[in-house]
Homo-oligomer: A and B are copies of this chain.
């Protein structure tokens, strides 16, 4: 019997190696897998490459991971936030490498990794500093930039419900990067607020089929309704 449900966050995070590329879901606080990120700090992996839309804010989650000195590089679209001071100071001190990617190119590069697309031409960023040095091409009168997939070793995502096969549903705009990051990582670990019996999720509304998920761990709902 296949059972992807893990008993604890610590169990679910076992084996994340130093040097791993780790995708973390979330847009602002919505969909941010805070418990898994806290667990990753405990777990101790270092020299990480983080892929996220933002670069952490305040003192929790990604910001705490940065503060703990575990991150070598971050690939994101919007690191600068009102309270992104841990990112800011590490970046200014030259202790953190940054690859800045337009948000839609970030999403499409993650999707391309999951979908086995080798590279794709996108109009976004053409003629800007973020496309400097990249291959460009005119296609049907429009200019495009060639972008490559972003693969990950691990994806940490937050979903709403999950079952023992790893099927997931999400809640409102907390869906954001979760479904595509799940497809792009060798090992996708999902925290959920509720685990359900096999068959309890309507097959029409499963957003992430279990094929993309290796581990599911239930966490208590706390702070989900608060700003993060």
A-B pairs, 3 with minimum CB distance: A118-B121, A118-B144, A120-B120
A121 — nearest CB in chain B belongs to which residue?
B118
Interface residue A27 (Cβ < 8 Å from any Cβ of B) = no
Q: Knowing A148-B139, A169-B204, A205-B205 touch, does A119 contact B118 (C-beta < 8 A)? A: no
CA gap between A27 and B144 in the complex, in Å? 33
Please give the distance in Å from A170's CB to the nearest CB on chain B.
8
Residues of B near A118 (CB, < 8 A) are: 120-123, 137, 139-140, 142, 144
Known A-B contacts A139-B148, A204-B205, A205-B205; A117 and B120 likewise in contact (beta carbons under 8 Å): yes
Would you call A115 an interface residue if the criterion is a C-beta within 8 Å of the partner chain's C-beta atoms?
yes
The answer, yes or no, to whether A88 is at the interface (CB within 8 Å) is: no
In the complex, chain A residues 136-159 whose Cβ is within 8 Å of any chain B Cβ = 137, 139-140, 142, 144, 148
- Report chain B residues within 8 Å CB of A137: 118-119
Contact A119 B116 (CB under 8 A): no
Residue A108 lies at the interface, judged by CB distance under 8 Å to chain B = yes
Q: A117-B122, A119-B120 are in contact. List 14 more A-B contacts (CB 8 A).
A: A108-B115, A112-B120, A116-B123, A118-B121, A118-B123, A118-B137, A118-B139, A118-B142, A119-B139, A169-B204, A170-B204, A172-B203, A172-B204, A204-B205
